[in-house]
Chains A and B, each alone.
Chain A
Amino acid sequence: MKKGVVIGGEFGKVIVRQKSDSPIELGELVIAETGKKRCCRLSTLLMQASFPSKTLSSFRECILKRMKTSLFLTLI
């Protein structure tokens, strides 16, 4: 089951973006696959911390959808 993708980090602190529908628990063991299938290197990773993030860099870019009126608003 895919759990996420490595997007950065350093030794002892690998940063993974989690797949939204399969969260990683604290203390969970997961495998990162590097390379092609036949000469694949697997890294066993232990989950240590998690925090929410977003692609939106500021409120100016935050687009909200009003469900009732279907009116798009852009916040200043």
Chain B
Amino acid sequence: MHLEENEDISFFDPHLRNYHLAILKNLITLKGGRAILAKSLPGFFSPVRALAAEDLSFLTTPKNPLFLGSLRSGSKEVNMPIYLNGKDMLCHHVLIAAATGKGKSNLMAGMLWDALGKDYAGMLVLDPHDEYYGRSKHGLKDHPQKERLAYYTPSNPPPGASTLKINLELLKPQHFYGVVDWSDAQQQALAGYYKKYGKDWIEAIVLDKPLPDDYHEGTVAVVKRRVMALLDLSFESNQLFCDGIFDITAGATIITDMVKEVSQGKIVIVDTSPFSGAVELLVGTLVATELFHFYRSAKGKGNLSSLPVAAIVLEEAPRVLGKDVLERGPNIFSTVAREGRKFQVGLVAITQLPSLIPRDILANMNTKIILGIEMKPEREAIMQSAAQDLSDDDRNIASLDKGEAIISSTFTKFAIPVKVPLFEDIIVQGKKDKVKTDFSELMR
């Protein structure tokens, strides 16, 4: 110990005299191989030891398993895969919260990879970064069961993928709500056009066809201008030109196809990377609305239980679930967050800023996967709405490194610390497993 005079001095028996005290939280009590909620304290002077694999015999693989990662103890990975019941978890909504670079996309890619091999869930992925399919790198296209994957992109679709073209006749006024700010008068004008002209209502707006009620000409002009800008339409020499993904002739069945694929347990990736925020939301709203209506109608017909769970993966969730957005009125995503569970439709909301999402929506998301979050207000928003009491885990969450996560869910007895594997490693492992399977079949 060198301090004031640089003298070489030390304590007697330093290990006995100086030590560290640790404050620990009792998670669960294990008795006779069963895990029960902790309702008693460990005895005074009870020895404390490291976790061993045999202590975890209660962590069994559930029905419809969805792999999330391996159990983590501090920064060490324990050889114990963590699965949740994917069907329950997805239809009760999932929130993935993390700061930039902490592994949100890697986690999502891993979840999609695992779900792709199972038939209990169909997923609609609105992919604003075009990162999950893997056009120019590893991605879901490398999955052994890639026939269960559908990829829609607006430009240069690779073999097996589809061009994203949406027919104008598929659009309805409610698809535009929440996408851009409309005044009451403008919303009424949209509804008025649809009521009078039906599926030709967009064309009627562009061609300045008359409305039955007395709408102010300024309102109608603004509606026309905004609709044309949003849908990338132009009008010359009495002819309508479609310059974007919305088309007069093509794409008449695209939304039905997507909904059908999700309801067959496929994963549908929609590449929205070339679009502006509003167009991306319009496409997302359109598909999500039709998917929700399909499942709601299936419940009415009594055949919901035969369908897989439908999950909508939503990046940058506060764009559609933020407090300021929802103050202007509900949209399809907030409707799914509140009512989707009854119809087997769930949300997987990904965000860096969970504090922007209203508390009632956060509370409806029964599984929260928390990766590293440095900002205290964001941690507090998550902790206050978690399925378990995480009020003392503030430092724990702040110290999560890349790929380290805590899963707080109504489907787990305690908040489980996990280490999320690298997606590249999952792909390599998946290929090895495939080789093994192929080899065993040859031996028969």
CB atoms of B74 and A34 under 8 A apart: no
Question: How many Å from the CB of B256 to the closest CB on chain A?
Answer: 47
Q: Is A76 an interface residue (CB 8 A)?
A: no
Question: How many Å from the CB of B271 to the closest CB on chain A?
Answer: 37
Residues in chain B near residue A48, CB distance under 8 A: 23-25, 392-393, 395-396
Give the CA-CA distance A15 to B22 in the complex, in Å. Answer: 6
1/0 contact trace for A55-68 toward B, CB 8 Å? Answer: 11000001111111
Give the CA-CA distance A28 to B419 in the complex, in Å. Answer: 12
Q: Is B442 an interface residue (CB 8 A)?
A: no
Is chain A's binding surface mostly helix, strand, loop or mixed?
strand
1/0 contact trace for A22-43 toward B, CB 8 Å? Answer: 1111111111111100000111
Total residues of chain A contacting the partner, CB 8 A: 57
Q: Is B384 an interface residue (CB 8 A)?
A: no
Question: How many Å from the CB of B402 to the closest CB on chain A?
Answer: 14
CB atoms of A34 and B46 under 8 A apart: yes
Contact of A17 among B19, B30, B55 (CB under 8 A): B19
Question: How many Å from the CB of A65 to the closest CB on chain B?
Answer: 6
Question: How many Å from the CB of A42 to the closest CB on chain B?
Answer: 4
Question: How many Å from the CB of A67 to the closest CB on chain B?
Answer: 5
Closest to A49 in B: B23
CB atoms of A65 and B12 under 8 A apart: yes
Contact of B399 among A8, A11, A26 (CB under 8 A): A26
Q: Is B28 an interface residue (CB 8 A)?
A: yes
Give the CA-CA distance A68 to B75 in the complex, in Å. Answer: 41
1/0 contact trace for B5-22 toward A, CB 8 Å? Answer: 001111110011111111
Residues in chain A near residue B52, CB distance under 8 A: 31
CB atoms of A5 and B25 under 8 A apart: no
1/0 contact trace for B402-419 toward A, CB 8 Å? Answer: 001000000000100100
Most chain B CB atoms below 10 A, which of A5, A48, A52: A48
CB atoms of A14 and B12 under 8 A apart: no
Question: How many Å from the CB of A46 to the closest CB on chain B?
Answer: 5
Question: How many Å from the CB of A9 to the closest CB on chain B?
Answer: 7
Question: How many Å from the CB of B293 to the closest CB on chain A?
Answer: 44
Question: How many Å from the CB of A75 to the closest CB on chain B?
Answer: 11
CB atoms of B44 and A7 under 8 A apart: yes
Asked whether A15 and B21 contact (CB < 8 A) given A2-B48, A5-B47, A64-B11, the answer is: yes
Residues in chain A near residue B443, CB distance under 8 A: none
Question: How many Å from the CB of B404 to the closest CB on chain A?
Answer: 8
Residues in chain B near residue A44, CB distance under 8 A: 26-30, 51, 55, 414
Asked whether A26 and B9 contact (CB < 8 A) given A2-B47, A43-B26, the answer is: no
Residues in chain A near residue B396, CB distance under 8 A: 26-27, 46, 48
Residues in chain A near residue B74, CB distance under 8 A: 24-29, 47
Pairs of residues from A and B, 9 with the lowest C-beta to C-beta distance, nearest first? A25-B74, A28-B74, A32-B42, A45-B24, A34-B43, A42-B30, A20-B15, A29-B73, A43-B42
The contact sample of 22 A-B pairs, CB cut-off 8 A, is A1-B49, A3-B48, A12-B25, A13-B23, A13-B392, A15-B24, A16-B22, A16-B48, A17-B22, A22-B50, A24-B22, A24-B24, A33-B47, A42-B30, A43-B38, A44-B27, A44-B55, A47-B74, A49-B22, A53-B18, A55-B17, A64-B11
